Structure 1
């Protein structure tokens, strides 16, 4: 009789625990399928995120880009003031990132580098900028420059970093893959571009292009 009573009590506790599955501090018993479904809901998909904002937010953000010649000159005069006026940065003390646009002539193609930068002499100036056209796109310039992607929007640092990587991947597929395979063909060509760069190294601007049009 005592064994039956103990078994009945255990069943009652199990039933109570299961019924109170949403009560804080009470253990829950979930089926494997329920646990897997919950886990799947928590998985962040950076590709889906970028697909959702590329055409609706990222590309339109470039309409607010500043002429590259203006930004380059401002950085040369006062980097901090230039950053405050034209740039964005993800946190205090981090480098500023800028959205820029411009037209210029490709004077050099460094196809010996993994980033394959085009050296572009900006129209009407003596200033040069570099536009990365290789398969290697380093950094988080595009994510940080657009101004609407914040670390606080994500649950962890990895998801935030994955967005930057996926944005760079989108640049490869939507912009770089449409350029001539032999980038040397671009030497001497006039191009119109928009994109982003970070002021990681003073005096240099390696632009990640979001749009890049070559004049025939």
Structure 2
């Protein structure tokens, strides 16, 4: 009988070089991802910045301080009227907040509402020169950005684009309407006495369109 020689076991092979390179690359990618990941805590400033801009939420947050600002600086219409007619630039500098399209003027008055059209009422105000046409807008649509621009610190640079900046003004207007105008019956103010605190944009000294920050029917 011939003897059979058992095969000699092969020594374990070394890992392939390509496999090692692939594993190393994968680890490098995971490390890079970890370094590039930012953890944002819910409710933090970082979390708020990543949320979509809400004009109505912004308006609800900003209107109370805008209202306080106007309350503290509002000038009686009987004082403001002669001042803007005498020297528009000086009155704007003394009483208003500068803006690119006319100073925003804070005013307070008591007047009798006249004819109203589309929620805008003429006002007869004692002590205001007859040359000045005073009106107040009560909705349903509140136009303009006078409330947004009243404080001078809500600036375009704080927003992503012009649309967001414009929407901020609309959100503030809606917040005012919800808090001030909606609880008040403004459907027929003609002949009624109203107390108004608000702002108007000083473009034509003889034409005031007031956006109210407070309005009460007497």
TM-score band (shorter)?
A: 0.7 to 0.9
1:101 partnered with 2:108: yes
TM-score (norm 2): 0.76
Hey, what does 2:20 align to over in structure 1? 5
Between stretches 127-136 and 39-48, larger displacement belongs to 39-48
Aligned residues: 194
Hey, what does 2:145 align to over in structure 1? 140
Q: 1:98 offset after TM fit, Å?
A: 1.1
SS at match of 1:178: coil
Q: Deviations over 1:184-204 (max 9, x none)?
A: xx2221111101111244521
SS at match of 1:166: helix
Pairing 1:39-58 to 2, within 5 Å after superposition = 41-55=50-64, 57-58=65-66
Q: 1:4 offset after TM fit, Å?
A: 0.9
Pairing 1:4-153 to 2, within 5 Å after superposition = 4-21=19-36, 41-55=50-64, 57-63=65-71, 64-90=73-99, 93-110=100-117, 113=118, 116-127=119-130, 128-153=133-158
Q: More helix by proportion, 1 or 2?
A: 1
Q: 1:107 offset after TM fit, Å?
A: 2.5
Unmatched 5+ stretches in structure 2: 1-15, 40-45
> Per chain length, whose mean CA-contact separation is higher, i.e. which structure has more relative contact order (CA < 8 Å, sep 6+)?
2
Q: Which runs of 4+ in 1 moved over 6 A?
A: 37-40
CA 1:167/1:19 → structure 2, altered by over 3 Å: closer, same or farther?
closer
Specify which of 163, 166, 173 is matched with residue 168 of structure 1: 173
Q: Deviations over 1:146-167 (max 9, x none)?
A: 3443334445433332221111
Q: 1:129 offset after TM fit, Å?
A: 0.8
CA 1:17/1:65 → structure 2, altered by over 3 Å: closer, same or farther?
same
Structure with larger Rg: 2
TM-score (norm 1): 0.76
SS at match of 2:29: helix
Partner Cα distance (1:96, 1:40) in 2: 31
